[in-house]
Amino acid sequence: MLESLVLPPRQFKIVKYLCEAGIGVDISELSGFLGVKESDLMRDLIELESKQLIKLEKTVKYLIRLSKLGLKYLELGLPEERVLKYLMSGDEKVSLKELASIGLDEDEIKASLGHLRKYGLVKLEGASVILVKKELSAFLEEVSRVKELLRTHAEPILYDSVPEWAATLKRRKLVEVDDVKLIKVYPTQNLLKLMSEGKVVEGVLITNLTSEALVSGAWKKAIFKEFDVGVEVPARTPRLRHHYTLFVRYIKEILVEMGFEEVRGPYVESCLWNFDALFVPQYHPSRKETDVYYVDNASVEVKEVDVLERTKKIHEGVWKYGWREDVARMTVLRTHTTPVSLRTIYERGAGEYRVFSFDRVFRPDTPDPTHLMEFHQLEGIIVGKKVTFRELLGFFKELAKRLGMEEVRFKPAYFPFTEPSVEGFVKHPKLGWIEVFPGGMFRPEVLASVALPPEYKVAAWGIGIDRLAMIVLGFDDIRNLYSCDLDIIESTKIPEVILRNA
């Protein structure tokens, strides 16, 4: 049951007025009462009608008023009347020229003569007009009828329909007829009932709802000021996840979904794990000082003597060179995360497992838009008896799909620790084919160094993920990935591909 009906102040005034009047009221009347233009009232009226409180009756009326000509004849008399008077006051025969002297123009004279001839009061002879003596009463009656009409319409008069005479006068251009749309407002029975029960309440216009208004119940009489949503509002300065840690989470989610476990490993490594156990000969150019950060003031203890011994045998037996233990024991900042994978195989040994690591690696470089001395690698291995190169390629395809890139292409590649080795490319809508998935099957020599039984195989991959991070986050400059500049952090949007996947 409706408790009460709260109306904005103006609407309340309208319904109150109507109820008091008890009958239909013209909108003009309401407009006068409220001191508001009719056009401004319409919105309130439509709302009230939609609430079934009022009924609007729209009608069309006709306003008849005198034209300029009508006003003139009202003052001077009708021209036919004036012509007749002139003829009767002097000679019965007058030239047309002479008639002009009484202050009528050619058209008026023509029209006047037409009227007079209709009543048989004049006739034309060449350029002269001759008065015919005849009964005048019919003519005078018509003249006085027209004049009476002019007189009565000196002020405009509204008609429900256009009277017959108005057409004649309109033809003579003595009057003008205008359509007038009129709205009449009636209170509905519903309104009258609610009003009599005191259920219609005048509301209070407010801009902010307050807790006081909520508690006191004043909100019940509240009418909320409407907002203009076109007005620009300021934006907040966000507190955001740094774009790179957000990207890391996104990538980790994908890998966890694919059944990978996260593993971590040391940043500072021995050459044994970073190179030798991975079958990289000590003379390999990737071990040069230009490509590796060597560390003198720290030394990673090589505790895995068995790995050291097996690695020595493998290098001496396969590569056949003077392998040096002191070189293998040198300390470096890891240049890739592959040692993390290899350490995991060493620790876990035989089994069926998938692990990944997403972590930092270091290579000497001078930072510029495309190079960094420290960057991330996404590394992973699939270990098992039935793991194949074919599956690795399939994994790349699936991973690319989950990263939002459907087209994948593979090319042969070389990495010292994998055979076969592959480089996977994905097609980016703007950048074309980009190199993203290096990987391969760990060489038997690598697996032998950590004593994985030969029936187990390992598909391995190590992605330079920052390239992908740049593409996903929309950066042209790789340095922005690691920026602590709040202007950059706050203006970096969360990419659609992350939002969709997350």
Partner 1 sequence: MPKVEVRLWDVERIAETPLSLEELVRTLETLKSDLEEVRGDTIVYEASHDRPDMFSAEGLGRAVGVYKGSRKPVKYVVENPTTYLDVSEAPEYRPYAYLAIVENLELDEEAVRQIFQLQEKLHTTYCGDREFVSIGLYDLDKVKPPIRYVEVENASYRPLGYDNVMSLDEILRKTEKGLKYAHLVRHHHYPLLVDSEDQVLSFPPILNAEDNKVTEETRRVVIDVTGTEPNLMMKVLNIVTTSVSERSRNPFIRKVSIKGSSLYPYSPVLEESIVEVKRDYVTSLLGIDPIQVKGPHLLESMGYEILSLSDDRVVVKVPPYRIDVLSHVDVIEDLAISYGYNELVGGVTPPPHFGRVNPLERFAEYLREVMLGLGLQEVLNFMLTDPDVLSLVSEEEFIRVRNPKMKTYSAVRNSLVPTILMSVKTNSSKRRKLEIFEVGDVVRLGEDKQPTYMKKLAYGLAGDDYTLTDGLVVLKSLMNILGINYKLRKTSRRLLISGRATEILVGGESVGIVGEVSPEILISLDILVPTTIAELDVAKLFSALSL
Q: Which of residues 391-450 bind partner 1 (CB under 8 A)?
A: 391, 393-395, 397-398, 408-414, 416, 419-422, 441, 443-445
Q: Reduce the secondary structure of 398-466 to three states and give it as a string.
A: HHHHHCCCCCEEEEECCECCEEEEEEEEEEECCCEEEEEEEEEEECHHHHHHCCCCCCCEEEEEEECHH
**What distance in Å separates the CA atoms of residue 92 and residue 133, rounded to the nearest whole number?**
9
**With CB under 8 A as the contact rule, which of the stretches 51-59, 127-135, 169-177, 357-365 interacts with partner 1?**
357-365
**What distance in Å separates the CA atoms of residue 22 and residue 186, rounded to the nearest whole number?**
8
Q: Show contacts with partner 1 in window 456-485 (CB under 8 A).
A: 457, 482-485
Considering the complex, state which of residue 185 and residue 393 has its C-beta at the smaller distance from partner 1.
393
Burial (CB < 10 A; 0-12, 13-18, 19+), residue 497, is middle
Contact 292, 373 (CB under 8 A): no
Going by their DSSP bridges, the two strands 222-224 and 204-206 should be labelled as parallel
Considering the complex, state which of residue 70 and residue 439 has its C-beta at the smaller distance from partner 1.
439
Near partner 1 by CB under 8 A: residue from 24, 77, 364, 404: 364
Near partner 1 by CB under 8 A: residue from 2, 229, 235, 298: 298
**Helical packing angle, 137-152 and 68-76, nearest 10°:** 120
Q: Is 204 in the site for partner 1 (CB under 8 A)?
A: no
Near partner 1 by CB under 8 A: residue from 252, 329, 348, 467: 252
CA distances from 88 to 103, 113, 212, 320 (A): 17, 14, 91, 149
Q: Is 320 in the site for partner 1 (CB under 8 A)?
A: yes
Residue 5, beta-bridge partner list = 200
SS3 (DSSP) at 211:
helix
**With CB under 8 A as the contact rule, which of the stretches 47-55, 150-158, 235-243, 463-471 interacts with partner 1?**
235-243
Considering the complex, state which of residue 11 and residue 335 has its C-beta at the smaller distance from partner 1.
335
**What distance in Å separates the CA atoms of residue 227 and residue 154, rounded to the nearest whole number?**
50
Considering the complex, state which of residue 47 and residue 374 has its C-beta at the smaller distance from partner 1.
374
Considering the complex, state which of residue 17 and residue 293 has its C-beta at the smaller distance from partner 1.
293
Q: Show contacts with partner 1 in window 122-151 (CB under 8 A).
A: none
Q: Is 240 in the site for partner 1 (CB under 8 A)?
A: yes
Near partner 1 by CB under 8 A: residue from 173, 294, 431, 477: 294
Near partner 1 by CB under 8 A: residue from 29, 98, 202, 374: 374
CA dihedral 255, 259, 264, 270 (to 10 degrees): -100
Q: Which of 439, 318, 438, 464 is nearest to 387 (CA)?
A: 439
By CB under 8 A, the count of residues binding partner 1 is 86
Q: Show contacts with partner 1 in window 258-287 (CB under 8 A).
A: 258-264, 266-268, 283, 285
CB of 394 to partner 1, least distance (A): 4
**With CB under 8 A as the contact rule, which of the stretches 48-56, 136-144, 169-177, 389-397 interacts with partner 1?**
389-397
Which H helix or E strand runs over 93? strand 93-95
